[in-house]
Structure 1
Amino acid sequence: MDYLFWRLPKEPDLRYFSWLLWFIWKNRNGKIYKNQTWDPFDLLWNAQIESVMWAESQTKDSPNTGSSQNVDHLITGDISRCYVDGAWRAQDSCTRQGWVYKAGGSTDTLMGAMSIRKSLSPLHAECEALIWAMECVKTLRISEVVFATDCSQLVKMVSTPTE
């Protein structure tokens, strides 16, 4: 393994080696748990594509193709953040919500989690989680905080409320 990871020649054809290992592992899990298999050539092709896409995404001048942007690097260390998430699954009878608050310029962290009656949709679950996190932060008398979520639909909905 030492040779495979550290002494690997710096040839362009071998730069996707770790991706190949990843796809082999995913194929193994698919075979064991879902009785699915991939063609070896598809495995190799996917590893190459993922390697190129990852390398392109790591360049600083690559354009952002998504509708939302990661603004963590724009927020200074003195700003408090609250990360919010809602979990919704069709087969479950409840929705799970959680938030993590990190005080700016400090190592203080607060968090909350709860399970409530099932929401109408995943977007409703995310929205309810945001509202609950806002209520909790307000109860803690915290007035300046940046809320963050992984739901691009919620970000769009909150950013452009006229739609």
Structure 2
Amino acid sequence: MRRKFPWVLWHIWKARNSFVFEKTRQSLDSLVELAQDETDEWFIANGPVHKINDLSQRIDPQYHKWRQPTLPFIKCNIGCSWAIANKNCGVAWIARDHRGNTVLHGRRSYSKVNSQLEAELLSLLWATENMSSLRFSHVIFEVSSRMIVDIFGSVNFFRGDDTLVQNIQANLEQFAA
């Protein structure tokens, strides 16, 4: 009943207007039934999507367990979330030491982000900029995005003219290998 409450109110309001302006009546049972049908349709249409469209986005299970970095490194885990509807994304990073203790963390949002790939690249760019400005020189960057791993993790490194990728590459060169 709680889920369909807005639809019940809406149909009561519509029935009231029909009675006032058209002199027609609707039964309470039909109002509740209409509200239930529309509630079900709305939750089906707007429910969570569990389908993974691109198999390359699946992450290999062996990478799911976090591992501590060795001294003198810190590990910077990076994540992002992109909303296609409003083209906004939120990005975050957390830096941990060799004991797994949080050293620092950061988060921010971006607007007018056109794709999931752009969101992932912005998250990595922002994390590398932060680690550099905080004067960390021994950093392991860890992402869960298969797209980013494919771009930066291969021997045949992406050599395109993408400014984001070039800026990230320049930032990464500042850190010890």
Q: TM-score range by the shorter chain?
A: 0.5 to 0.7
CA distance in 2, matches of 1:144, 1:86: 23
SS at match of 2:83: coil
8 Å CA contact retained: 1:68, 1:155: no
Aligned counterpart in structure 2 of residue 130 of structure 1, from 89, 107, 124: 124
1:106–1:90 distance in 2 versus 1, CA, 3 Å: closer
Aligned counterpart in structure 2 of residue 81 of structure 1, from 66, 75, 93: 75
8 Å CA contact retained: 1:68, 1:152: no
CA distance in 2, matches of 1:68, 1:35: 30
1:1-80 counterparts in 2 under 5 A? Answer: 34=43, 70=63, 72-73=66-67, 75-76=69-70, 79-80=73-74
CA distance in 1, matches of 2:107, 2:148: 19
Q: How many residues align?
A: 105
Aligned counterpart in structure 1 of residue 97 of structure 2, from 96, 100, 103: 103
How far 1:95 sits from its partner (Å)? 1.6
Aligned counterpart in structure 2 of residue 116 of structure 1, from 110, 130, 135: 110
CA distance in 1, matches of 2:72, 2:97: 8
**1:76-124 C-alpha deviation (Å, 9 max, x unpaired):** 3653110111211111242211111112347342111111122121111
CA distance in 2, matches of 1:74, 1:99: 15
Bigger CA radius of gyration:
2
8 Å CA contact retained: 2:79, 2:143: yes
8 Å CA contact retained: 1:79, 1:105: no
1:66–1:128 distance in 2 versus 1, CA, 3 Å: closer
CA distance in 2, matches of 1:76, 1:104: 5
8 Å CA contact retained: 2:68, 2:100: no
Identity of aligned residues (%): 22
How far 1:140 sits from its partner (Å)? 0.5
TM-score between both structures, scaled by the size of structure 2? 0.49
CA distance in 1, matches of 2:96, 2:68: 16
Unaligned runs of 5+ in 2: 1-39, 46-57, 160-177
Measured on the aligned residues, the alpha-carbon RMSD in Å equals 3.2
Aligned counterpart in structure 2 of residue 156 of structure 1, from 143, 146, 150: 150
CA distance in 2, matches of 1:143, 1:78: 9
1:107–1:114 distance in 2 versus 1, CA, 3 Å: same
Unaligned runs of 5+ in 1: 1-30, 37-64
